[in-house]
Every structure is written in structure tokens, then in C-alpha cells.
Amino acid sequence: AEVLRTNLAGVNTKWYFNPTDSKLLGYEVSTDREDDPCEIHFSDYKKDSYGKELPGKILIKYGDKEYASLKVNGRKLQKQFNSDA
């Protein structure tokens, strides 16, 4: 995976991307270097009605424990229109 590291207001984040298709695989967030990061993993990408690929599964971990495993059963995206354009 390709890794992008960011720091904003003391929050360190590592963003993991698939190098072949640039999909976001997940990220790790930590506010303290001594603590384990919170990990969010994305998988099972599927196209929405606009052709955008979004994750169908989201796994959230903290330390060695799984905090939540979410399955996306549906999604609704709305186009936003810019009135200034």
C-alpha cells in the first residue's frame, strides 16, 4: 500500500491507498504517539448510481480489539448544485 502521512492540530493520520487503483484502503488516527491508533479499514467497494466506487464494508479497530464491523446495505447520494456557477 502507498502511505500518506498527515498531521493537523496534533492529530497524526496515516492514509493507506491501493497503488494500482488508488482506492482508499483505510487510515489510522492517533493523538498520542504512546497510544495505539484507531484503525478504519475499507473493503468491498461497489459503484453507486453516479458511477463512484464506495466501500461496502467498514472495519473499526482500536488496539487489538475490533470495535465495529459495518456493512453498507444501501446508500443515497445527492448531487449538490453550486448557485454561484
Digits of tens for pLDDT over the chain (85 positions)? 899 999 999 899 999 999 999 999 999 999 888 889 999 999 999 988 778 899 999 999 998 899 999 999 887 767 776 666 5
Amino acid letter, 45? Y
pLDDT of residue 50: 77
Which of 8, 40, 7, 46 lies closest to 25 in space, CA to CA? 40
User: Sheet holding 2-8: strands in order across?
Assistant: 2-8, 11-17, 24-30, 38-43, 57-62, 65-71
Domain count, the chain: 1
Range of the domain at 46: 2-71
Residue 5, beta-bridge partner list = 14
Is there a domain that residue 42 lies in?
A: yes
Residue 85 falls inside a structural domain:
no
Residue 77 lies in a domain: no
Q: pTM for the full model? A: 0.81
Phi/psi zone of residue 60: left (φ > 0), alpha (ψ -120 to 50 degrees), beta? beta
